[in-house]
Every structure is written in C-alpha cells, then in structure tokens.
Structure 1
Amino acid sequence: MSEAKKVNGYTTFQDGIRSCLPTVLGYLGIGFSFGIVGINSHLNLFEITLMSAVVYGGSSQFVLCGLLLANTSITGIVMTVFLVNLRHLLMSMTASPYFREETLLSNISIGSLLTDESFAVFSTAVAQDKHFSLRWMEGLNITAYITWILATLLGGLVGNFISDPDKFGLDFALTAMFAGLFLTQFKWELSKNTKKAISVVVTVGVSLVILLYFVSSSVAVIISALLGCLVGGILDDK
C-alpha cells in the first residue's frame, strides 16, 4: 500500500468516529422516534433499551412494536424479525472479504454491529478506493451502536408525553434516512458509471414491484437486492 494511498484513507478508531458523524443525527432522530413508539407500544424504558442493545435494528424494532400491538405469536415475531434482518447477512458477506486477515472474533464483531448506515459508509470507502483498517471499522460501528442505544433511551424518557407519534411524522424518520443514504451513494455511483448505476436501480425497482405480488415484502426486498447485485457484478468494468 503506497504512502499516498494510506494518507487518503482511514486507519484509526478516531477516524471511524469521524466517519460516523454524518449519520449520527440520523441515528438520533430515528432512535428518538423508536423510543417514543416503544413507550406507546406499552414497553417500559428497560425493555426499550434492552431491545436496542440486543436486537439493534431500526426497521426490525419498529416492526416488532407493531407485532406486539397486534398480539402476534412469539413464533410469528421471531420469523418476521429474522426476515426483516436477513439483509444483514448479505452486508456481512460483502464486508468480510476485506477483513480476511483479522481474527474470527473481530469478523463476528464487525458483522454483529453492521447497520445499513455503517455499511453505506463502508461501501463508499470501498467505492472511493480508500485504505481502511479494522480499528476504523470498530470506531464506525461502536459509535453508531452507542448513539442508537442512547437515542432510544432518550426517546423512551419523553415517550409518555407524546401520545400519537404519527402526528409528528416520527414514523417516517427511518424512511427519510434511508432515502438520504441512497441518494448519497447513488450520486457517487452515477458519477463513476452511469449505465451501471441506472441499470442496478431499475433492476431492483422493477423486480421489487413484481415480486411484491407473489411473496412477502421482506423476501421481495432480499431477492430484488440479490438481482441488483447480480446486474451490478455483470456490468462491473473492473
């Protein structure tokens, strides 16, 4: 690795913290929203914080609250949350080749704390051919993890004062953040390879719409993402 490339990269834990900062406001907003939704789903503050620490998945935690309100069975809740979080398997498989020289424990840690947002930051670093280290990835993931737990805790503390979270648009916070991350990533890919970026987006969009008529939304998202990856791999000019 050349010295010039190392300078244009991320090597320390502090670099990981700095790389996470652009997404911190998103974590705070979504986590705060979840804390409020959790309280209004009849969860107490301890249960909300424990769920954030153990489940650690924004979309799956919102879904879980809805299932609890609908009195869904434990089996149904477990299977639904598993399907919603199944995309993390794809993200972990994508990230793991870049850390082959690290220990198994380190790779498990990376995969366990990887989120949509931290994966987007990681993907951007890869796309820009940045040099990065395990310490950088740990700083990125741990900062996000702590921020999420604190945000949901704060949301839970004020949840009793907001009886209708939807009234303030808090249910849209997660969607808004994903949209922002997507636009940032798409803009970068578009500048590199217009044909590839547009082809992947069209493939995912069209396949998702079609699949929603035949399978559940979670399965449709996974399959359409795999199809998008396939098209992107075929069109990769490297």
Structure 2
Amino acid sequence: MSARLSEVDRQAFRQGLRDYSPTLMAIFSWGLVTGIAMSKSVLTLPQALGMSIAVYAGSSQLAVLPLFAAKLPIWTILLTAAMVNTRFVIFSAGLAPHFSYLPLWRRLLLGYFNGDIIYLLFQKKSFPTGFQPGKEAYFWGMAVASWTSWQVSSVIGILLASLFPDNWGLELAGTLVLLPLMVSAIVTRSTAVAVGIAGVVSLLAFDLPYRLALPLAVITAIVAGSITDSIVERADLRRIRQRAGDSR
C-alpha cells in the first residue's frame, strides 16, 4: 500500500503520525478506562469487543453502559448516544469542504475514523478546501495512530480489567493529558468565548437526562462564537473606517 502512495502522501502520512503522537498517552488512557468499564458492565466479552470496534466512540460508550445495566428501552440508549455524539455533526460539516470530491464510501470511512483530536489538529493545519496532495494522507496518519492506540488499550482494558484498581484515576489522567492541547487551540477571542460559555452551560446542565448537557454546550458554544466573530468584525470595520476618515 505504501508503494502506491506518492512521496508527498508518504510524507504527509508520517507528519500526521508525528502530529498526533503527543496525544497517544491520553487516547490510550481513555481507551483503557472504556475497556475496563465495558468489562465490568453487563456486556459479555464478545459484546464488549464488538462495541469497541464497531462504535469507536468512548464518550457515548461510557454514557450508555449504565442504561444497559438499568435495562432501559433501546430508544433511550440510542437517544443518549446520539446526544453525546452530536458534536460529530459539526466535525463532519467542517471536513465536508475538504473531502466532498471523494466517493460516498470513502467519506463514510473518514467519518468513522474522525475524532475530537483528529479534527482539532486537522483544522489547525489550515488546509485549503478541495483537493490538495497529501491532505487525505495527513488525515489517515492521525486516524491510524488514534484507532490503533484506542483499540489496543480498549482490548487490554476488556481482557485485563481485574488487574486495574478503580482508584488509579486513569480517566482523570487522560483528561489532564488532553488539557494542554485543548488550551493551545484557543487562539482567538471568539474561541475563548465559545469555550467559556460551553463550560458554564455544561456545568449548569450536568444533571439533565440523556446527556443533554453536551449537545447544549456545543450549540451554545457555536452561537456564542458566531456572535463574538460578528462583533469583532464590526469593531474592526469601524476602526478601518475611522482610520480612513482620519487620513483624509
């Protein structure tokens, strides 16, 4: 497969691997936590392994495990998973201009392998939209690193759950490792406002059913960021007009 790729694609693939590598510890930790949680839930071993491979979405997997244990209706479980994964609609919309030229099956494949950190790092590269040599290969470099790390750690957690004490705090460790990357993404005023609003909303709505706090935080963050962008643009326009008037 590597021999079929151009030199540009090979370099981009390796760059994707390198750019994603600082997050591997956090992804491994989250995968381990999710695997342990699935193993200690009502799922059988084949069900847990199947869920890890087919779903590949740690937040929604952790969200629905208590619902399985409570034997709630399937629509409740599906609704909760959908609410948790609402953010992927935003991610898909963000990637669409970059890969719209690809056939449907390849776009669906990209959607399966996409994730929070992959999307963040991809957007930080500021690729032009449309086809560009190496762009898809860069995405796949990150995707392969993420998927492999997640599945390996998740399977380890599923098979060896009894060896990991609950007081190790692996979930917190994974979150702490990701924080510097998240903070580094706050580079504009609108992003800072969106993050702040999302944090407040998620805390206020934490106890809502079906994990509604997450989609509410996403929606309010988008609205807050858009409003802030509009305000900043208007302020910049006023300053430009004022300078033009002063120069006269």
Q: TM-score, normalised by structure 1?
A: 0.78
CA RMSD in angstroms, aligned pairs only:
3.1
Aligned to 1:217: 213
Residue 19 of structure 2 corresponds to residue 24 of structure 1: no
User: Quick one: which amino acid aligns to residue 146 of structure 1?
Assistant: T
Shift of 1:85: 0.7
The verdict on how the C-alpha distance between 1:209 and 1:45 changes in structure 2, with shifts beyond 3 A counting, is closer
Q: Which sections of structure 2, spanning at least 5 residues, go unmatched?
A: 1-8, 237-248
Alpha-carbon contact 1:201-1:228 (below 8 Å) kept: no
Length, aligned pairs only = 221
Distance in 2 between the 1:199 and 1:126 partners? 21
Structure 1, unmatched stretches of 5+, are 1-8
Mapped contact 2:25–2:177 kept (Cα < 8 A) = no
Distance 1:223 1:14 in 2: 34
Q: CA deviation at 1:177?
A: 4.7
The one-letter code sitting in structure 2 at the alignment partner of 1:222 is V
SS at match of 1:12: helix
Which residue of structure 1 aligns with residue 84 of structure 2?
A: 84
Structure 1 200/161 Cα, relative in aligned 2: closer, same or farther at 3 Å?
closer
1:61 equivalent to 2:61? Answer: yes
Residue 71 of structure 1: how far off its partner (Å): 2.5
Q: Say if 1:213 and 1:48 are closer, same or farther in 2 by CA, change over 3 A.
A: closer
Alignment match, 1:96? 96
Residue aligning to 2:4: none
Partner of 2:106: 106
Cα offsets for 1:8-35 (capped at 9, x unmatched): x995322222222112111111111111
SS at match of 2:126: helix
Change (3 A) 1:232 1:45: farther
Aligned-partner residue type, residue 16 of structure 1: G
Aligned to 1:202: 196
- Contact 1:199-1:231 within 8 A present in 2 as well: no
Separation (CA, whole Å) in 2 of partners of 1:174 and 1:67: 24
Cα pair distance change 1:14/1:198, threshold 3 Å: closer
Q: Report the alpha carbon displacement of residue 179 of structure 1 after superposing the two structures with TM.
A: 3.0
TM-score normalised by length of structure 2: 0.75
SS across alignment from 2:185: helix
**Amino acid in the other structure paired with 1:98:** H
Look up the match of 1:34. 34
1:157 counterpart residue number:
159
Pair 1:158–1:53, CA change in 2 (3 A)? same
CA contact (8 A) 1:11 1:131 kept: no
Q: Counterpart of 1:182 in structure 2: which amino acid?
A: M
Paired amino acid for 2:161: G
Identify the residue that residue 243 of structure 2 maps to in structure 1.
none
Identical residues among aligned pairs (%):
22
Partner of 2:140: 138
